[in-house]
Chain A
Amino acid sequence: MRSTTPKTPLQQGIRDAAPFILVVTPFAIVFGVVATEAGLSIAETLLFSIAVIAGAAQFTTLQLLTENAPAVIALLSGLAVNLRMAMYSASLTPHLGAAPLWQRALVAYLTVDQSYACSVAAFERNPSWSLKERTTYFFATCIPVIPMWYLMTLVGALIGESIPESFALDFAVPITFLAIIAPMMRTPAHLAAALVASLSALSLTWVPFNLGLIIAASLGMITGAQAELMLTKRGLFK
């Protein structure tokens, strides 16, 4: 057996992020299809993905616009879904905070679930990495994932029109979201947050301007935080 030389941060980043192509591809195609079904042009759909690169937020905003919710509500709901990016940003700061401003701005644009998850794990595995090695690794994780996000959105937008109604693509959005949420139920606190949020959303559909969504999400977050406090006090959290 040939001894393997240690891989460079560039190679490691690409290799670690490569499996996420399997997650990003269907999600991007579905977005492309759903967006064109909602009446967006191919250019608008692609621009949406390039400008925002955040599938869940894009779906949320698009869904609310399709339901004729006020633009401000659609925007706020999309941003609420993206609040976790602020957490990612906070958690990357100790590792990448010393990089030049233009690099930090680029890191910020490219901060998505996949690049963040890979990078934080790698930085913890390799505490001896220099700043340059860390930034290289971060950008390397984006190489398989981000271009695929653009490209597959385009593919979805191009094939969208040709998909017949019997494919029930209306339900692609809830299924994709459920599939993303379910593995996130790591603790009883997460489960409680999700339960309270969904039940509140169902009982608050009468609230005007889709504000029920914001209220339900806030109730869910408060529930999660309180449940975490209670579980921590009893020594049951994590």
Chain B
Amino acid sequence: MIERPELWYVIAALAAGSFMLRFTFLGLVGDRPLPEWLLRHLRYTAVAVLPALIAPMIIWPAATGGSFDLPRGLAALATLSAGLWFRSVIVSITAGATTLYLALYLFG
């Protein structure tokens, strides 16, 4: 169970912080160029943070008490393959969900 008021503080701080991230350059920095080394690292934030977040959720799902689960593993593989191949979020989600339910039905 998530504590209150901790949750509200985190939501408020995330909202304020996200706004600042969005506003910094447009509002405060203006047209001054950013150093290239910083931009180079910023380009990879999303593709680094998101995989790091979900890798443990895929290998050790909480729903199965943290032990590897074949249907969920297959679903992740299908989502990733479809996404890499078709470059479409919708196709990728559909492939993953279909595989998950099919595998849960067959092996679950």
Instruction: Show the binding face of A for B, using Cβ within 8 Å.
Output: 22-23, 26, 38-40, 44, 47-48, 51-54, 56-58, 60-61, 63, 65-67, 71, 74-75, 77-90, 92-94, 96-97, 101, 104-105, 107-109, 111, 166, 168, 170-171, 173-185, 189-190, 193-202, 205, 213, 216-225, 228-229
Nearest Cβ on chain A to B44's Cβ, whole angstroms: 3
Is B84 located at the chain interface by the 8 A CB criterion?
Answer: yes
Nearest Cβ on chain A to B19's Cβ, whole angstroms: 6
Residue in A56, A79, A224 whose beta carbon sits within 8 Å of that of B21 in the complex = A79
List CB contacts (< 8 Å) of B1-52 with chain A: 1-2, 6-15, 17-19, 21-27, 29-31, 34, 37, 39-52
Nearest Cβ on chain B to A227's Cβ, whole angstroms: 9
Is B70 located at the chain interface by the 8 A CB criterion?
Answer: no
Residue in A108, A168, A194, A222 whose beta carbon sits within 8 Å of that of B51 in the complex = A194
Chain A, interface SS category: helix
Q: Take A51-B11, A52-B11, A65-B10 as given contacts and tell me if A175 and B48 are in contact as well, using a CB distance cutoff of 8 Å.
A: no
Since A60-B53, A78-B18, A197-B49 are in contact, a sample of 4 more A-B pairs with Cβ atoms closer than 8 Å, ordered by chain A residue number, is A23-B89, A67-B62, A183-B88, A225-B37
Check if B22 sits within 8 Å of A178, measured CB to CB. Answer: no
Residue in B37, B46, B56 whose beta carbon sits within 8 Å of that of A56 in the complex = B46
Nearest Cβ on chain B to A97's Cβ, whole angstroms: 6
Residue in A48, A107, A179, A202 whose beta carbon sits within 8 Å of that of B92 in the complex = A179
